[in-house]
């Protein structure tokens, strides 16, 4: 309905890189990763598609700007003041929140290769230092952090499955079996009642007992479980009785 912009350079720039990135997240959350296109983004911004190429080299570069934006929103500050096992919780919650507010970003980041831009390492550095202060042997720290981040990312993918199933039904995505099954159940399909009656009972019991969704309940259970397990591991390491590390 808007009046068509006439050709030639506008008196003031119509776009900005920040605005493009911000809008990109909006578009992504509506279309999902597979239908996230430069054309749709341009349309939302009220410009022709080629205009975007004044600000980003190509689609891959745009996604990598989104990657950087996402990782900069994860708050690891607590590792500077709290002991490692206490800092994990607020960090993990912040981490998951960033992805949970727009879970489609995970598929996009996993699908689009990284370009040359350096990852932000500030958070990582202070996490490692916190583990070190807590008495962790140097060689075990990276694996521990990788394990934690893996869990958090995986948990964020559950949010994708769940939110889609609660929404208008246009999108229903899932990566895990349980994710798919819970999604189906949320949609009111009851095929699982006959095929997997015990699972169906367990799911109903979960829903009756906890207000939060399976994904949220699982996230809290999982992160607390991992912290407890890591504390145990650290204790064993201190006693000179390390867990077996080879298969």
Partner DNA sequence: ACCTGAACACCGTTCAAGT
Burial, 152: exposed, middle or buried (Cβ in 10 Å; 0-12, 13-18, 19+)?
buried
The correct pick among 81, 132, 166, 238 for binding a second copy (CB under 8 A) is: 132
Q: How many residues does the chain have?
A: 247
Q: Point out which span in 7-15, 16-24, 39-47, 165-173 binds a second copy (CB under 8 A).
A: 165-173
Answer whether 169's CB lies under 8 Å from 116's CB: no
Distance of closest approach, residue 49 Cβ to a second copy, in angstroms: 18
Nearer to a second copy, 20 or 219 (CB): 219
Closest by Cα among 184, 37, 4 to 112: 37
Specify the DSSP element, H or E, that contains 132: helix 122-133
- 7 contacts which partner out of DNA, a second copy, none, CB within 5 to 8 A by kind? DNA
Nearer to DNA, 38 or 93 (CB): 38
Specify the DSSP element, H or E, that contains 6: none
- 33 contacts which partner out of DNA, a second copy, none, CB within 5 to 8 A by kind? a second copy
Per CB under 7 A, 201 contacts DNA? no
Cα 49 to Cα 27, 44, 73, 227, 244, distances in angstroms: 14, 10, 28, 47, 55
**Residues in 23-52 at the binding interface with DNA, rule: CB under 7 A:** 36-40, 47-51
The correct pick among 15, 21, 47, 153 for binding a second copy (CB under 8 A) is: 153
Which residues here bind DNA, judged by CB under 7 A?
4-10, 13-15, 36-40, 47-51, 53-55, 57-60
């Amino acid at each position: 309905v808007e009046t068509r912009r006439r050709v030639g350079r506008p008196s003031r720039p119509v776009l900005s890189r920040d605005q493009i990135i911000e809008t990109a997240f909006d578009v992504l959350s509506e279309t999902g990763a597979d239908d996230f296109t430069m054309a749709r983004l341009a349309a939302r911004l009220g410009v022709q598609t080629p205009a975007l190429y004044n600000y980003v080299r190509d689609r891959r570069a745009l996604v990598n700007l989104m990657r950087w934006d996402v990782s900069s929103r994860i708050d690891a500050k607590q590792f500077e003041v709290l002991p490692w096992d206490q800092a994990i919780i607020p960090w993990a919650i912040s981490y998951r929140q960033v992805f949970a507010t727009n879970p489609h970003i995970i598929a996009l980041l996993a699908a689009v290769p990284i370009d040359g831009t350096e990852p932000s390492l500030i958070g990582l550095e202070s996490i490692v230092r916190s583990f070190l202060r807590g008495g962790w042997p140097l060689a075990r720290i990276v694996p521990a952090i990788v394990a934690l981040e893996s869990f958090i990312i995986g948990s964020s993918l559950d949010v994708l499955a769940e939110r889609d199933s609660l929404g208008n039904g246009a999108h229903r995505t899932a990566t895990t079996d349980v994710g798919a099954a819970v999604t189906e159940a949320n949609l009111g399909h009851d095929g699982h009642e006959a095929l997997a009656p015990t699972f169906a009972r367990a799911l109903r019991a979960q829903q009756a007992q906890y207000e939060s969704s399976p994904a949220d309940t699982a996230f809290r259970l999982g992160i607390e479980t991992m912290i407890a397990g890591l504390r145990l591991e650290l204790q064993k390491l201190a006693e000179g009785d390390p867990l077996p590390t080879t298969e």
